[in-house]
Structure 1
Amino acid sequence: MSGTSRDRILARVRRALADVPAHERPQDHPVPRDYLRTHGTRTPAESVDLLAENLTDYRAVVHRVDAAGLPALLAELLGRHGTRRVAVPAGLPAEWLAQAAVEQVPDSAGLTARELDAVDSVVTGCALAIAETGTVVLDAGPGQGRRRLTLVPDHHVCVVRTADQIVDSVPQALGRLTPARPLTWISGPSATSDIELDRVEGVHGPRALDVVLVHEDRPRGEQHAVNKP
């Protein structure tokens, strides 16, 4: 943005605030939030199923597995994608990739976009997932990494714990998220459409998104893929 454009925008903001008393603060006028926080009532299992359905509708590939089966599933997904190098955010549990025969590239501030472009996949956790919108939210917490880490590699595998990381709605998600953190909201692989509605994937993010729903109480070894490539 040029200096002239910035000055013009700031001038408009000052004109809009000209009649606001100098001592007034945003908290002096609470915003009523009497809208519905969820659309209907669901059991936890129904919320998980709705999340899986909406993610699949956005062309993500959804998998279900128990905690014990997670390392084997991640190794399978990376192998299926032909991954040789995988980006690993700080704080990702070491056991998650223990069975994957890949080179692990630790995230760091010095890892450039060009270097990330040479990485085949990235594996992360998440802050939470929203059932009603089929959205996974990352906030750069442990096991999630910087925003760049999940936007440059062509393949993103995101792990969601069903026991404590799924909410029904956006209002519920906002109540749990910290707005000061860098939030990345992901609903399926990166995609856009031109004027003729031809869909193109991978324009500003991964072309392939695998979401793994980890059920703590699922019997050992049982695995179900909601959608398969």
Structure 2
Amino acid sequence: MQESWGPLLYQMSRLDENGLQQCNTVAAKIKDQLANRQFADAENSWSDLENVVLANSNAVNLYNLLEDDAPENAAAVLSSSSLASFRSNKGGYSGYLDSLAASSGGFDGLMNTVIKKKLGIIPKDVSWGEQSDLVFDAMAGDFMKPRIEEVDQLLKRGLNVTIYNGQLDVICATKGTMDWVHKLKWEGLDKFLSSPRTPIYCNEEGQSGTQAFVKSYSNLNFYWILEAGHMVPIDNPCPALKMLAHITQSPAT
């Protein structure tokens, strides 16, 4: 996955040759660590790769390569004294959602009122709480594991598996995700790869042009969501909703 970061950002003009070379060097180190099952070390190197990208791209947003991570103060972010603390803050996603949920009393308020009521299955005595940092830290030894065998088992047992990628995502770049798909041992993989893609439109919702593609074979589905980064439902809600409707086999309403 990390080997795709440098070439993608170079092709999108966020890196020059020097930045590309630095990214590729760290990515190669990560690849070796994964091959040697040094997963915790690989995660540390992954963090190093983020720092290299930020330093060479004027703080590109790793969740959406068309944006800056700190558009108003990139110079301060990139200073040697602030870079490490900047990347140690994993709350960017939650902070963004908090800003959207301000009218509901923050993200906690949104989840425990509007969303809880909408789902209709959450017990009254159960409240939503944000533990993302604790979960992230607790999974330090698992975060970099490929999990190919586990997905193969899901496919073999006939469970529906859906993979999706935002076109503008760096963290989970589409090229890296497709490389991972190619490593699956599932017996239907060749037929999946040779299957045609189907475009997804949102004309009735007021969006013109192609919004996404989907490829399906048997119980494996892959969605390419256009004009979206890591947070697909936020960046391009319409195809995200259509994808969710397909996964849950329910109307997209």
User: What TM-score results when the alignment is normalised by the length of structure 1?
Assistant: 0.24
Structure label with greater radius of gyration:
1
**Structure in which a larger fraction of residues adopt strand:** 1
Greater RCO structure (CA 8 Å; 6+ sep)? 1
